[in-house]
Amino acid sequence: MTPNNKQLAAYYAQKAGVLEQVYELPERQEELEQLQEELDEVLSGHRVLELACGTGYWTQFYAYSTEAVLATDINPEMLELARAKELPADKVRWEVADAYTIDAEPGFTACFAGFLWSHIPRQDQEKFLQHVRKQVGKDGLLVLMDNTYVDDVSLPIARTDADGNTYQVRQLENGERCELLKNYPTDSALRKKLATAAREIRIQRLDYYWMLTCRLK
């Protein structure tokens, strides 16, 4: 695990219990309902490998229409909350695994990664796409979902590094402050980054979130 991954994992382990509070904000409900329905539709019938599933918030909205789901996260604290959602055991398995090194069994036809892409360093994104390709194979479906930067709502960007990665300063429940990598790519940047690895790239940009679907080459 890289230093960035270790810091990210430690941050989310401490935030596990309050992570879903952002989904309770009234102004986001319309977009959330739209994305929940669309995610369910696009993953219907697939055998899905979910990376960085967190508390299973998104898993619960698409799991019932899939053939099977392996939902993974690096944090046991997250998966404890995810299991409490009591999704059907004949469809959903939960597993502690690093999204960057997981070696899943063959047979998955789709990969879903929600709110992970923004934390992947720009210089490592091609390697990540190659890794996903190994998990779901040629023509496998990749679904990415993440945050749109919103003025006066999103935390301000604290700095930008030499590779173009942006960082935010976040506060833990104990008051400790930490700096986390958090990128907000434009649609054109996403298309350019995925162009050599994927086809049929479709991006839906909403006020608070974006969702991308594509087929891996």
CA atoms of 159 and 181, how far apart (whole Å): 9
Q: Check: CB of residue 132 under 8 Å from CB of residue 198.
A: no
Q: Which residues pair with 30 in a beta bridge?
A: none
Mean pLDDT of 37-44: 98
Q: To which residue do tokens 């941050």 refer? A: 11
Q: What is the pLDDT of residues 3-36, one digit of tens each?
A: 567 778 888 878 888 889 999 999 999 999 999 9
Q: Which CATH superfamily is domain 3-148+186-216 in?
A: Vaccinia Virus protein VP39 (3.40.50.150)
Q: What is the pLDDT of residues 72-84, one digit of tens each?
A: 999 999 999 999 9
The whole-number pLDDT of residue 22 equals 94
201: Cβ contacts below 8 Å, ≥ 6 apart: 190, 191, 194, 195, 212, 213, 214
The whole-number pLDDT of residue 4 equals 64
Chain-centroid distance of CA 180 in Å reads: 15
Residue 97 has pLDDT above 70, yes or no: yes
196: Cβ contacts below 8 Å, ≥ 6 apart: 126, 217
The whole-number pLDDT of residue 171 equals 82
Which long-range CB contacts under 8 A does 151-159 form with residues at least 24 apart?
153/208, 154/184, 155/182
200: left (phi over 0), alpha (psi -120 to 50) or beta: left
Mean pLDDT of 211-216: 98
The whole-number pLDDT of residue 2 equals 55
Q: Check: CB of residue 96 under 8 Å from CB of residue 72.
A: yes
The whole-number pLDDT of residue 141 equals 98
Q: What is the pLDDT of residues 165-207, one digit of tens each?
A: 999 999 877 778 889 999 999 999 999 999 999 999 999 999 9
Residue type for position 37: E
Residue 116 has pLDDT above 90, yes or no: yes
CA atoms of 3 and 111, how far apart (whole Å): 25
CA atoms of 89 and 71, how far apart (whole Å): 12
Banded pLDDT at 114 (limits 50, 70, 90)? very high
Above pLDDT 70, what percent of the chain?
97
